[in-house]
Amino acid sequence: MGKSGIGFGLLMLLVLAGCEEPSSAVLGPVPFHADDECHVCGMIIADFPGPKGEAVSAHQVRRFCSVAEMLGWWHQPENQVGESHLYVHDMARGDWNRPDDAHLIDARQAWFVIGGDLPGAMGVTVASFAEKAAAEDWAGRHGGRVYQFKELEPALWRPSAPMAGHH
Model pLDDT for residues 119-153, shown as the tens digit of each residue: 888 778 999 999 999 999 999 999 999 999 999 98
Give me the number of domains the chain comprises: 1
Domain of residue 95: give its range.
22-157
Quote the CA–CA distance of 21 and 137 in Å, as a whole number.
Answer: 40
Structural domain contains residue 1:
no
Structural domain contains residue 16:
no
Give 130's DSSP letter: S
Using the Cα atoms of residue 132, residue 138, residue 141 and residue 145 in order, give the sign of their dihedral.
negative
pTM over 0.85: no
The pLDDT value given to residue 157: 75
Structural domain contains residue 3:
no
Structural domain contains residue 74:
yes
Structural domain contains residue 35:
yes
The pLDDT value given to residue 26: 59
Q: How confident is the model at residue 155 (pLDDT cuts 50, 70, 90)?
A: confident
For residue 10, give the H/E element and its range.
helix 3-18
Quote the CA–CA distance of 95 and 80 in Å, as a whole number.
Answer: 31
Cβ contact 74:56 at 8 Å: no
For range 65-88, the mean pLDDT: 90
